[in-house]
Every structure is written in structure tokens, then in C-alpha cells.
């Protein structure tokens, strides 16, 4: 049979796009169909994905917000699933329609002939998201409407209905509702493409695989690898960057290890086409692995390094990637390794006090780069660009990327001597010396200083009049009196009523517009005015300079006075210390959540993670808890905690365990019958690089795994309170499994901290 055949460009519901093709054939004519497709990706990675898709052969490629539209046949769709390193999902649109009511959504979905895509004895799942919709803004409800429409159609036709499978359904349906416009698609990927298949199921990575791939692509790794350059990750963690670098260098398809895709159970699946692509990918991998460059990773934790090695074995890359236990300060390439790319995902940190350790880590890292990696390129992703200056190496223009919901910057460095500079030293000792020296001010500025000091004194008096009255009414003995109310006087001032009135002063970073000399003058003025306003002796005022300190840790001892004082809070007593430690032994901003725990603890088993001096556990015990378990890695603070229990005459089933809370949680979760707790308080540090911990901890990167582990120990009707002081924290609620999450931050910020509503965030989490 001869004739003219039309080559059509379709969306899956049959909408005609364009094109004609003349082709001769006597026996068989094949209809070639091209589809309109959409690939999703994290924000700021759209251009990288667009370039990938073009290289894979896609047509009409157009980046959109968090995704890319493109055209191609079914082979192109499969190739994108198999080869894209930066996509999350490949969607095949079935139908677009308007939704003015839930009936519109139901009717539109029911009109699609679902038997063309799967059988009534198959399974399916629905993913529903909505933006700016006044009709349907509850995603669970939207998914339920779609599910009902499909089930009702199948039941009416076949007297049988397909079942829901949220894990690995036969097909997965994606619905996106923007205002009144709905787009319904098949999810050809089935589950996110960042899941390559080499990661252990119970290991949560700090970054997803497609973000790691984007970092490598933006850092020029493909060309460096072709030229035989080496790659080192000196903080390799579970090995994500190492593995993604190896996959790129070996021409190893990132989806080759996966055994599940959303199209495998689709009735229109072309098995022969898919098998051809798999064979091609295996051949390319076999050739690529013959010329692998040096790829090596270091990590200070033996356990984490072992996890990376396991992932490397899972990927079949044994003997292709070298991993060893090594601290960042010892990072160094072997003399035989050709200079190439050093890349890492260092811990994030920002908060005053919490970022002292991380600041020192960046400073040390910069020294290592300067000493051991001249001639190399370096790249790292950070959330706080200010930390990049601590490296002492000038970078190229930073590239914006998103690690989950958190906006980050990819720094790219050429490690050459001409790019080195010396970061400003800001140690506590230097700052104290400057404050002392500032007491002899320039005579020309004395009048100005006196006027400014008077302004500060007036504000302090005003605050004292208001806050002392409030504290008396609420029976609060310790509170924040002043919190940088005047930008020129950037300190926090806390009142502690014990045997005497004690004052704890913490200095904040001065604005860049204020010179160091001027900041020191003002700090000296503050220390001079406080005793007069509060009518106390200057010996009752203590200064804590929260600075990026060299050779210190977050809670390192400052002195050895052992001068403890007893304060009271909601029927509880606590020991505080103003001289020996950076913090006093109690976090005043957590006063409301401690009261909540006291009120809810009766007859409950209470778990306090990262317990510090166990103030929350004391409150739970006073509230009638059946038991309390306090976990902390420091003997000093556990001893302090036990003294707090003795001070309150608390006895009974109360444990204080010295352990890294993260590791303890993980070990407990793995037990055949882990202990269950009715009430859990989880308040981790923003960052910790303590030698007592298995590995560096970063709350933004590690919170999902931490919360999921805690939920595994939470009783069915229990409550988990999660709190963090990281000001730029973004909760990745999508990663938290089967949980109801309620942001209760506003109700846990006390009045004396209302000027700083971001002092902490707090969520109430329960099982669904």
C-alpha cells in the first residue's frame, strides 16, 4: 500500500500539534507520534536541565519556573528518564481543563478513557498540587476527587475498581491546579529521578543527587574529567557528590540502576524501545569506566565513610572511588593525582554563638586549600555567603541554587596565590581588648558619645519600667530586657533574679556602616550605663562576646569560677552560671515551650534530645511525667542536669544518657522493639562540629532524618515538639513521613523576645 502518511505531534489526549511527512511503504506504515512533555526540576536549575534535554535530542525546549517544556517521541521521553541528571520527574500531559468547582475536576478526569492507560486490576496513585486556587486548596481533597473519578469510571465499565498503591503503583497521575487551570499528566518517572538506586533506603543525604549533579555541571566537572583531572570531596558524607561525579565521568546513565519507572506498567509502554535504550546505556557505561579519573572522598566520621563505601559498592563502582576517614584539616591530594576539582557541601551555619564553630571550620578549610590545593579549582554550596569570606579566597560570581526550600550559593574558586586574601580576625580576646581601649575616646567625639549613651540609658529605663511590671505579673524572674532596640547599641541584655540581680550582656555584630572603633566605644558605654540604670554593682554585669572565635567550640569553657546561682521558673529551680560558659545554662526564649511540656507531661514518658542542662526534663518531671530521658553528648552538661534534678528534689525513673543524640536516635530506631515516648522535645543546635559527635551536624541539612527517627520513637498518640534557632531555617515537610505538622512558633515566642520573632521556630508534630 502506497500513500501519504501524516506525522502528528500529539499530547497524550490526542490534541494535534503540527507537521506532515511523505513516506512510501507497501506492507506496513508506522504512525510516529511526538508528545508535548514537561520535566520538573528544583528552582534555579531550569537552564541546566534545558541544556541536558537538548543534548539528549529534545525539540522545542523552553525553560519554565521549576521545569522545562519540550517535545519528543516516546523514545525521547524514556531517554530523559534514563539520562537526565537534574530532572525530578518527566510528565506526559493528558489533558488541560478549567476548574471552577470540585464537580468540574471530577467530570474532566472521568471523561478521560483510563482503560487506554491501565487495567481495572492494576494500581494507581495521584499526586495533586494547587497554587492560587480558591476552589481547591487542600491537596489531599483534590487527590481524593481525582481518585474517585477514576475509580467510578472503572467500576461502571468493568464492575471492578483499581486499588491505590502509594509506594510503586502501576501508573502515577499528576495534577497541577494553577488558579482555575488544571494540567493532568502521567508521571513517567513514577518516583523522583533523583533516586538513582544506589542509596540505602534508611540513609538521608544532606543534598539530593540531582542538586549534586547540578553543582558538578556548573563547576565544569565534565571537561575536567575528560582531561583526566582528579576530584576530591573532603567532607564527603554518604558520598553523593563522589558518586554523581563518577556517573558523569564514566558516561554512566543515572537511571540505570533503577528497577521502577512510572511507564513500566503503562499500557502504551514500548518495551522494545526501552530495552534498546538500556542496552545502549550499558555499552556506554562499559566504555566509560575504562578511563575513569581519580575520584576520592574524606570524612572525619568512620561510620559516615563506611556508608559512602556501601553506596559506591551498590553502584558497582568498587575500586573506582577512594574513600577514607580523614579530618578536613588533613585533606591533601597524593602527589600523583592530577589537579582538578575539589567540591563539597560543607555544613551550613549562621546564628550568633552557633556559627562560631562553623566560622572556624571555614577559616581552617581556607588554610587547607591555600596550603595543599594550589592549581586546583574548588566549588562549594553554602547558605550564608558571608561564610565564604572566611575562606580567604576570592570566588567567581556565586550561582544561586536551592537545597530543598533553602536558597544557597554555589561558590567557585580558582585556588591561585593571586586570589588569596587574609580574612579579618574577630576573636573574643581581640574584641575585649578593643572595648577596653575604647574607654579613652577621641576628645572630639566625647560630646557625641555622651549624648548617645544618654539615649541608650533612657531606652533601658523605659524598658525596665515596662518589663519589670510584666515580669512581676507573670511571676517571671529571668527575662530579656533589651534586644538591640537602638541599632547603634547592638546587644542583648538579660536579667536574672537570683540571690542578687545579675545581668548578662551579649554583643551582636555591628552594622557594616559602623566602624570597629565606634562599635567598641558604644559597647564600653553600654557597660558603663547598665549599673546606674539598674542600681547594681558593676561586678553583677557579665559580658559575653559571641564572635567567630579561633580554636573554640560552641559551648567551650570560658573560665573556671564554678560560681552558680539559683533562679526560678514556673515552680522549677535551675542553676545558672554567668562566667564559665558562653550560655548561662538556660535558654530564656524557650520559657513558653517548657511550660507547655510541664502542662502536658503528666503520666507521660518524656524524651529530651540535645538536652543541654535538661531544663525541659525538669519541667516535665515537675508536671508529673512517668519518666524522663535526657540525651546529651557532654558530661559537663549532664552533671549540670543532674544537679538541676537534685535542686528540685526530683527522684524516680529519670535517666541522663551521654550520647550523640543523632546517633542515639538512629540506633534506637533500628531496634526490633524501640522504646516509645509519649512526649518528645527535639531542639538541636544549628551547627555542631564537636569531637564528641560522630560527624558534623547541620540542622538545615539533617533535620528531616532527625525528625523521622524521632517519630519512629513517638507513641501513636504522642506529640513531638521540634524547635530550631536557625534564622533562615526552612522546614522540608515533604520529607517528613506520615505526620501532621503545625507551626506553633508564634505562640512559643515570649513577650520579652517579641522584638526578635525569629529567635526560634517551633512545630508540633504528630502521627497521621
Tens digit of pLDDT for each residue in 633-689?
Answer: 999 999 999 999 999 999 999 999 999 999 999 999 999 899 999 999 999 998 876
Task: Tell me the C-alpha distance between 373 and 416, whole Å.
Answer: 9
What is the DSSP code (8-state) at residue 582?
Answer: S
> What's the confidence (pLDDT) of residue 521?
79
Residue in 61, 42, 65 with CA at minimum distance from that of residue 52 = 61
> What's the confidence (pLDDT) of residue 270?
95
Task: Tell me the C-alpha distance between 299 and 30, whole Å.
Answer: 55
> pLDDT grade, residue 430 (50/70/90)?
very low
The CA-atom distances, in angstroms, between 630 and each of 582, 594, 650 are 21, 14, 14
- Three-state SS sequence of 389-421: HHHCECECCCEEEEECCEEEEEEEEECCHHHEC
For residue 309, give the C-alpha cell. Answer: 563505601
Contact between residue 36 and residue 11 where contact means Cβ atoms under 8 Å apart: yes
- Output the CA angle 676-680-685, nearest 5 degrees: 130
Domains contained in the chain, CATH given: 8-187 (3.30.2130.30), 209-252+288-419 (3.40.50.150), 428-545 (3.30.750.80), 570-767 (3.40.50.150)
Task: Tell me the C-alpha distance between 8 and 30, whole Å.
Answer: 12
pLDDT at 2 over 60: no
For residue 370, give the C-alpha cell. Answer: 591555600
* Averaged pLDDT for residues 617-627: 97
Coil, helix or strand at residue 655: strand
pTM: 0.70
* Alpha-carbon torsion, ordered 234, 236, 240, 242, to 10 deg: 40
DSSP string, 563-594: -EEEEEETTEEEEEESSSSSS-SS-GGGHHHH
Task: Tell me the C-alpha distance between 79 and 273, whole Å.
Answer: 10
- How far out from the chain centre does Cα 429 lie? 33
Helices (H) and strands (E) in the chain, counts: 20, 31
What is the DSSP code (8-state) at residue 192?
Answer: -
Contact between residue 328 and residue 368 where contact means Cβ atoms under 8 Å apart: yes
Paired with 510 in beta bridges are: none
Contact between residue 521 and residue 445 where contact means Cβ atoms under 8 Å apart: yes
- Output the CA angle 422-428-430, nearest 5 degrees: 60
For residue 147, give the C-alpha cell. Answer: 481518585
pLDDT at 134 over 90: no
> pLDDT grade, residue 115 (50/70/90)?
very high
Task: Tell me the C-alpha distance between 356 and 349, whole Å.
Answer: 9
> What's the confidence (pLDDT) of residue 611?
96
Percent of the chain with pLDDT over 90: 73
Amino acid at each position: 500500500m502506497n500513500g501519504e502518511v501524516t506525522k502528528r505531534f500529539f499530547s497524550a489526549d490526542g490534541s494535534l500539534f503540527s507537521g506532515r511527512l511523505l513516506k512510501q511503504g507497501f506492507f506496513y506504515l508506522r504512525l510516529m507520534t511526538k508528545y508535548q512533555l514537561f520535566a520538573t526540576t528544583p528552582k534555579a536549575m531550569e537552564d541546566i536541565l534545558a541544556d541536558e534535554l537538548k543534548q539528549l535530542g529534545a525539540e522545542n525546549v523552553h525553560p519554565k519556573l521549576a521545569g522545562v517544556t519540550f517535545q519528543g517521541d516516546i523514545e525521547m521521553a524514556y531517554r530523559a528518564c534514563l539520562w537526565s541528571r537534574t530532572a525530578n520527574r518527566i510528565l506526559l500531559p493528558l489533558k488541560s481543563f478549567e476548574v471552577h468547582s470540585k464537580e468540574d475536576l471530577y467530570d474532566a478526569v472521568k471523561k478521560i478513557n483510563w482503560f487506554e492507560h491501565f487495567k481495572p486490576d492494576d494500581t494507581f496513585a495521584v499526586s495533586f498540587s494547587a497554587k492560587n486556587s480558591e476552589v481547591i486548596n487542600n491537596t489531599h481533597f483534590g487527590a481524593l476527587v481525582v481518585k474517585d473519578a477514576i475509580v467510578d469510571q472503572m467500576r461502571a465499565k468493568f464492575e471492578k475498581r483499581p486499588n491505590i498503591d502509594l509506594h510503586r503503583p502501576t501508573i502515577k497521575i499528576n495534577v497541577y491546579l494553577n488558579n482555575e487551570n488544571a494540567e493532568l499528566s502521567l508521571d513517567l518517572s513514577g518516583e523522583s529521578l533523583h533516586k538513582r538506586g544506589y542509596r540505602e533506603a534508611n540513609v538521608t543525604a544532606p543534598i539530593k543527587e540531582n542538586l549534586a549533579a547540578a553543582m558538578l555541571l556548573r563547576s565544569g566537572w565534565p571537561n575536567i574529567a575528560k582531561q583526566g583531572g582528579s576530584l576530591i570531596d573532603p567532607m564527603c558524607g554518604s558520598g553523593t557528590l563522589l558518586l554523581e561525579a563518577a556517573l558523569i565521568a564514566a558516561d554512566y546513565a543515572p537511571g540505570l540502576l533503577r528497577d521502577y519507572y512510572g511507564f513500566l506498567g503503562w499500557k502504551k509502554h514500548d518495551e522494545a524501545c526501552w530495552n534498546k535504550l538500556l542496552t545502549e546505556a550499558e555499552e556506554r557505561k562499559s566504555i566509560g569506566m575504562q578511563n575513569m579519573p581519580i575520584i576520592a572522598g574524606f570524612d572525619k566520621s568512620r561510620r559516615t565513610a563506611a556508608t559512602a563505601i556501601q553506596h559506591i559498592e551498590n553502584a558497582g563502582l568498587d575500586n573506582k572511588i577512594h574513600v577514607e576517614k580523614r579530618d578536613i584539616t588533613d585533606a591533601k591530594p597524593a602527589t600523583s593525582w592530577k589537579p582538578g576539582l575539589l567540591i563539597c557541601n560543607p555544613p551550613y551555619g549562621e546564628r550568633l554563638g552557633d556559627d562560631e564553630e562553623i566560622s572556624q571550620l571555614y577559616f581552617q578549610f581556607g588554610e587547607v586549600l591555600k596550603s595543599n590545593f594550589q592549581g586546583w579549582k574548588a566549588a562549594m554550596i553554602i547558605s550564608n555567603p558571608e561564610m565564604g569570606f572566611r575562606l580567604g579566597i576570592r570566588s567567581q560570581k556565586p550561582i544561586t541554587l536551592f537545597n530543598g526550600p533553602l536558597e544557597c550559593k554555589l561558590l567557585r574558586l580558582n585556588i591561585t596565590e593571586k586570589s588569596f586574601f587574609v580574612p579579618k580576625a574577630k576573636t573574643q580576646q581581640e574584641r575585649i581588648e578593643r572595648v577596653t581601649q575604647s574607654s579613652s575616646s577621641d576628645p572630639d567625639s566625647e560630646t557625641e558619645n555622651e549624648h548617645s549613651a544618654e539615649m541608650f540609658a533612657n531606652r533601658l529605663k523605659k524598658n525596665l519600667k515596662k518589663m519589670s511590671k510584666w515580669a512581676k505579673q507573670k511571676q517571671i524572674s529571668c527575662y530579656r530586657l533589651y534586644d538591640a532596640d537602638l541599632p547603634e547599641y547592638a546587644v542583648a541584655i538579660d536579667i536574672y533574679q537570683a540571690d542578687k540581680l545579675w545581668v548578662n550582656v551579649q554583643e551582636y555584630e555591628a552594622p557594616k556602616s559602623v566602624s570597629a572603633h565606634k562599635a567598641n566605644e558604644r559597647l564600653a558605654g553600654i557597660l558603663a550605663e547598665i549599673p546606674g540604670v539598674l542600681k547594681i554593682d558593676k561586678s553583677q554585669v557579665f559580658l559575653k562576646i559571641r564572635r567567630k572565635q579561633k580554636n573554640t567550640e560552641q559551648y567551650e569553657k570560658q573560665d573556671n569560677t564554678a560560681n552558680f546561682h539559683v533562679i526560678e521558673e514556673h515552680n522549677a529551680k535551675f542553676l545558672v552560671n554567668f562566667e564559665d560558659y558562653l550560655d548561662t545554662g538556660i535558654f530564656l526564649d524557650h520559657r513558653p515551650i517548657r511550660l507547655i511540656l510541664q502542662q502536658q507531661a503528666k503520666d507521660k514518658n518524656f524524651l529530651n534530645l540535645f538536652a543541654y542542662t535538661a531544663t525541659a526534663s525538669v519541667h516535665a518531671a515537675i508536671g508529673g511525667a512517668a519518666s524522663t530521658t535526657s540525651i546529651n553528648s557532654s558530661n559537663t552538661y549532664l552533671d549540670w542536669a543532674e544537679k538541676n534534678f537534685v535542686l528540685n528534689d526530683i527522684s524516680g525513673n529519670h535517666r541522663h544518657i551521654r550520647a550523640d543524640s543523632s546517633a542515639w536516635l538512629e540506633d534506637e530506631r533500628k531496634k526490633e522493639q524501640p522504646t516509645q515516648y509519649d512526649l518528645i522535645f527535639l531542639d538541636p543546635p544549628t551547627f555542631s562540629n564537636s569531637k564528641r559527635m560522630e560527624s558534623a551536624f547541620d540542622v538545615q541539612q539533617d533535620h528531616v532524618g532527625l525528625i523521622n527517627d524521632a517519630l519512629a520513637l513517638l507513641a501513636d498518640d504522642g506529640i513531638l515538639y521540634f524547635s530550631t534557632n536557625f534564622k533562615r531555617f526552612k522546614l522540608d515537610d515533604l520529607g517528613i513521613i506520615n505526620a501532621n505538622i503545625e507551626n506553633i512558633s508564634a505562640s512559643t515566642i515570649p513577650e520579652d523576645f517579641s522584638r526578635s520573632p525569629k529567635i526560634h521556630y517551633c512545630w508540633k508534630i504528630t502521627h497521621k
